[in-house]
Chain A
């Protein structure tokens, strides 16, 4: 039986409030929120991996696949419906992950981090040299329709905002269930002691394979939404620093609650908007110091500040 808890009610309420706000928030704000929540979807995948003890410095790979699927769908295949494009991107990412996962599930720790980085850089290298796809410049994404309906500029942005809010909120709800399910807790068990999991009769590789696929799907959704929101895609999406940013946001929020990546992504987006405006050359420095601060003072991320229930430590 699925038990409906406080977190789920809260998530559903927050999603509805954000969606309703879409009617009157100013354009620039809706744009920032759209991008932040799209990013939050990718970060959910990174968090999923972190809960299993894996840190990926290459999640940009699937982010990029999602983005390019949306762009190429419009450009080359005449598909222009946003949900269809997003689904196509997610499927493409899962298909790729299904192949790469066979390899990736053999690695842990720094090897997983490095190999994921290398794989995303392979895609970067391929895209940079693909003149049909605009090489380093990438290309512009056609405006999409939503379930067959097309919108003008203003309404288009609102529609995209709504779609993003619903996907981010719905995705978080699903992940909340996943985190507390038998499978979700088994990922934590792998992080804690893989040998024991094997000796409980389960295959850690199979469990991590499922984890890898799910994370890829979320990254692709986020990439697709980002492509639609910015109207542009380029190989930078697969460059390792993009993946580094996802890791940063994941650590900022922490892994203990599905709302954390969303809060962290929104916070990140606002701070960046202002920091880049006022002190363009210290933005990364701020990130670096914040990251060190989190590691030293808040190893469970910002969310540990708002979490009321504490684990008894006897």
Chain B
């Protein structure tokens, strides 16, 4: 068997009295599409934050493609081939969508950008427009990000993450803040792009419909622990999961009613 793309060994993290991660042993193999479910405060975002170096774990090991990433800052981990999106899209709000993409393209070329060559080169302009087209948001190219709708921002956020040609992508609630009508379209677009780039994906999601439809494997988190790991059918059938995770969330129902 090949080296797992991501592996954590007895990963722990607590915030004061709250345990956000307790002995997490996760192994993810190249090509998998993994969904992470769990109620609020179960430790899902903490997991992503630790794996991308934003938050140091209290103890434990994190290996990316067999190499430890412990103690490395996010930028170094990104350069190794990991990328992430954010629950609330992290963009450059007062710049245009095109400029956002151009900045990501410059960043992907190396850690020391040129101080005299213009950012908006013909080549980068072409690449940026292609990417925006791939994600179906090219019509927003010249708008400033703060004027773009939420769903498009999420797509731009993910598109920016993919510019560094990562081998693994972590998506933090890609459909949160997106309307019910838009969410499947958004996920279809994202998954098409992900398959096109051949990226392993782990995504955190509240919405069970989304999880069911797009993932090959589910991890169920409950108060910092993984209580179930398997195919969607197996995990959703698990008594503990039904009681502690799905029972808690009712995510889909609520969102539908509110929309």
Name A's B-contacting residues (CB within 8 A).
1-3, 177-178, 180-186, 188-189, 192-193, 195-203, 206, 210, 311-314
Contact = CB atoms under 8 A, between A and B. Distances in A.
Given A182-B113, A196-B91, A199-B90, A2 B164 contact: no
Nearest to A192: B92
Interface residues of B, number: 44
A189 B111 contact: no
Nearest to B143: A314
A178 B78 contact: no
B118 A314 contact: no
B107 A197 contact: yes
Contacts of B83: 199
B164 A184 contact: no
Contacts of A186: 103, 106-107, 113
B153 to A, nearest CB: 12
Contacts of B45: none
A199 B84 contact: yes
Given A182-B109, A185-B103, A198-B74, 9 more contacts: A1-B117, A180-B118, A182-B106, A183-B113, A188-B92, A188-B95, A196-B92, A200-B163, A202-B113
Contact of B120 (A180, A195, A314): A180
A185 B102 contact: yes
Interface string B157-184: 0001101100000000000000000000
Contacts of A206: 111-112
A16 to B, nearest CB: 22
Given A193-B90, A201-B79, A202-B75, A180 B111 contact: no
Given A1-B121, A180-B120, A196-B90, A201 B95 contact: no
Contacts of B84: 199
Given A180-B120, A188-B92, A314-B148, A200 B104 contact: yes
A201 B78 contact: yes
